[in-house]
Amino acid sequence: MAKGRTEIEVGADGVALITIINPPVNSLALDVLRSLKESYDEALRRDDVKAIVVTGAGGRFSGGFDISAFGGIQEGKGEQVNAGHISIDIVTNTLEGARKPSVAAIDGLALGGGLEVAMACHARISTSNAQLGLPELQLGIIPGFGGTQRLPRLVGLAKALEMMLMSKPIKGKEAHELGLVDAIVQPGELVDAARAWALDIAAFRKPWIKSLHKTDKLEPLGEAREILTFARAQARKQAANLQHPLVCIDVIEEGVVSGPYAGLLKEAQSFEMLLHSDTCKSLVHVFFAQRATTKVPGITDLGLMPRKIKKVGILGGGLMGSGIATALILSNYPVILKEVNEKFLKGGMDRVKANLQSRVKKGTMTQEKLEKTLSLLTGVLDYESFKGVDMVIEAVIENVSLKQQIFADLEKFCPPHCVLATNTSTIDLNLIGEKIKSQDRIVGAHFFSPAHIMPLLEIVRTHKTSPQVVVDLLDVGKKIRKTPVVVGNCTGFAVNRMFFPYTQSALLLVDHGLDVYKIDRAITKFGMPMGPFRLADLVGFGVALATGSQYLQSFPERCYKSMLIPIMVDDKRAGEATRKGFYIYDGKRKASPDPEIKKYIEKSRSMAGSAPDPEIMKLSDKDIVEMIFFPVVNEATRVLDEGIAVKSSDLDIASIMGMGFPAYRGGVVFWADSLGANYIHTRLEAWTKKYGNFFKPSAYLAERAAKGLSLSAPASQSKSKSRL
């Protein structure tokens, strides 16, 4: 069966309307592209056609080339794509080179290949809210249907580079100001306006412009070279491990220096090369994994519709509570913020205001919008108004008995349908809900700090949480633009549990002789935003010790207990907040290594009874990365085996969005599979013999290694069973 098609309809005015049809986003599958060419051929053949309009069905022009075809192409299965052929034969020769003019009528979105098709038309009419962009770099590739050549010629080099390198679409209104589109009209008038424009071109009343031949927007060569040099430096600085942004700049440069046809050829070769790169495979995996997090077997396949959440109550206006309140009011949810006294309440309300004010300062929010948004927030000191809320999110300090009391109160004051959510990051939800009857309404809403900025929302369900409550929270999560990941209940849930060995292995290596800063350097070079020691400083040693003790209680057989942090806390070094941790900090939060930490390390080593180990001291960066991350992978396999996460791709997204694992490595489990279960198992076994049970491979890992299975293969392929 064909995957998508186009339809052609010729009107009495002599305009052929070609509509791209491939729901939900009219992606350009190979069948669609073939059909587009056939429709063009028909329009060019027919004498009753004077001009052509291309549009997309259902209010969306096109979301670009069909990304779901990438996997097959990369594995050499199914129909192979020849992007160069499509770019030259269909887009350049058939569309742009046609002897009849065509106009793109853009509503909704024109992204990637979609915008490339539109740029090959001789004019573009758009609605003001349509999104136009070339986001291919977010998939590890570059535009492959001529976008690297046409966009700079339509909007200038500097803007085109920004749009491609940042993968950031612009709205129709801005596209019009830049000259990417020729007119903005209301959605209802779009096709008629495009028809009239196309006829005007055919009658030479409007210019017949081929984007590829335009030169007026291109900067003079000297200036262009400067822009390209600057862009290269920025790309290297922002993502030192990535090749494709630099390739994109090279391809654009080829077009500027040697002309658009040379540029098109280089684009085609580079696209082909990048399509098969590990970076592209990883980023395409991330694209689909992110969209799969909201598909939860046994929850989202029951036909349940989310209930309307009209008002949300938040307990606690600290850093987390105020961040959550900010996220909610920004998406138009009325919020009641409860604190225990006037002083704390004012502090919480001020924090929300400051979060919004920083948007005003950055120019992304007007003062008027700030006032309107803030009016959705009400501060209270008692539970009186909680009888009108549909969801509460508790965000007080991590104290079990306090939380138990709060939930007992909430059960009394909130209506019986109200969702009872807690933002705890580690405490077992069954413990929190121990004293109440409505345990089916208890759910975890674990936000990451700062809650109004970080994209992940870990939704924690217990065995008793009703699917309806999870569906409700998933809906709120999506509405506040978070990526929700649904996980089971255990100490640390999925993200923090997977990552507790991250700091512990780093501490183990230091106790065995490795330099703190060498570890952080190796880990940031690998692509993490910061190494384990810089992260510990940021989080604060108080939190690190409190959560560390929870893991020690829950998983004593596989925790590494270093004395280094407690020794430093004894000396009043508690991380960035005290300006002294593993690093020292100046007033501008700049971290510098501190030679003083040597004395704490020596004390920690002597308490651990470990002497510097020459083998550890000469570890390469690759070995350091593996000794830090293989224990993380090991814990991830336990999380999978216990059914805490239902699919490995959820852990990939959780590791990327919760911990900053580099997306271009596909997430923790995807990366581990690229190395192989057997390799990881062998290394962990060897380290277990030398350094103890902290490294002991899980049964899941051992089984997959023995059977030659990937870690992400579904449980049905091995005998491991999910327990949720």
Cα 503 to Cα 516: distance, rounded to the nearest angstrom: 11
Q: Which is nearer to ligand 3HC, 133 or 488 (CB)?
A: 133
- Is 136 part of the annotated catalytic residue set? yes
CB of 25 to ligand 3HC, least distance (A): 4
Q: Which is nearer to ligand 3HC, 71 or 566 (CB)?
A: 71
CB of 96 to ligand 3HC, least distance (A): 15
Q: Which is nearer to ligand 3HC, 68 or 553 (CB)?
A: 68
Measure Cα distances from 307 to 420, 460, 475 in Å. 14, 18, 9
- Token couple for 314: 């938040």
CB of 81 to ligand 3HC, least distance (A): 8
Q: Which is nearer to ligand 3HC, 270 or 496 (CB)?
A: 270
Q: Which is nearer to ligand 3HC, 64 or 513 (CB)?
A: 64
Amino acid at 302: L
For residue 587, count CB atoms less than 10 angstroms from its CB and return exposed for 0-12, middle for 13-18, buried for 19 or more. exposed
Give the residues lining the site for ligand 3HC (CB under 6 A): 24-25, 27, 63-68, 83, 109, 111-113, 116, 135-136, 139, 143-145, 147, 291
676: Cβ contacts below 8 Å, ≥ 6 apart = none
Residue that is written with structure tokens 């990526």 in the block: 483
Q: Which residues pair with 575 in a beta bridge?
A: 580
Q: Which is nearer to ligand 3HC, 28 or 568 (CB)?
A: 28
Q: Which is nearer to ligand 3HC, 66 or 394 (CB)?
A: 66
CB of 131 to ligand 3HC, least distance (A): 7
CA quadruple 427, 433, 438, 439: dihedral sign: positive
Q: Which is nearer to ligand 3HC, 197 or 271 (CB)?
A: 271
DSSP code string of 623-687? HHHHHHHHHHHHHHHHHHHTTSBSSHHHHHHHHHHHH---GGGT-HHHHHHHH-HHHHHHHHHHH
- Is 642 part of the annotated catalytic residue set? no
* Contact predicate 130/108, CB 8 Å: yes
* Contact predicate 169/23, CB 8 Å: no
Pairing type for strands 391-394 and 312-315 reads parallel
Cα 126 to Cα 104: distance, rounded to the nearest angstrom: 8
Amino acid at 238: Q
Cα 51 to Cα 542: distance, rounded to the nearest angstrom: 70
Cα 145 to Cα 150: distance, rounded to the nearest angstrom: 9
CA quadruple 169, 172, 178, 179: dihedral sign: positive
* Contact predicate 287/293, CB 8 Å: no
* Contact predicate 694/505, CB 8 Å: yes
Which segments of 318-464 does DSSP mark as H helices, in order?
A: 319-330, 342-362, 367-374, 400-413, 429-432
Q: Which residue is nearest to ligand 3HC (CB)?
A: 112
CB of 332 to ligand 3HC, least distance (A): 18
CB of 145 to ligand 3HC, least distance (A): 5
Chain centroid to CA 141: 17
Q: Which is nearer to ligand 3HC, 161 or 335 (CB)?
A: 161
- Token couple for 118: 């539109």
CB of 129 to ligand 3HC, least distance (A): 13
Amino acid at 253: E
* Contact predicate 435/411, CB 8 Å: no
Cα 401 to Cα 85: distance, rounded to the nearest angstrom: 67
CB of 294 to ligand 3HC, least distance (A): 8
CB of 114 to ligand 3HC, least distance (A): 7
CB of 288 to ligand 3HC, least distance (A): 6
Q: Which is nearer to ligand 3HC, 66 or 411 (CB)?
A: 66
CB of 201 to ligand 3HC, least distance (A): 26
Q: Which is nearer to ligand 3HC, 287 or 555 (CB)?
A: 287
Sheet architecture: strand order including 170-171: 109-111, 131-133, 170-171
Amino acid at 36: L
Bond prior to 24 in cis (omega within 30° of 0): yes
- Token couple for 22: 């491939």
Identified catalytic residue from 7, 9, 136, 162: 136
Residue that is written with structure tokens 């003790």 in the block: 549
* Contact predicate 668/651, CB 8 Å: yes
Identified catalytic residue from 116, 254, 626, 703: 116
Which residues does the annotation mark as catalytic?
A: 116, 136
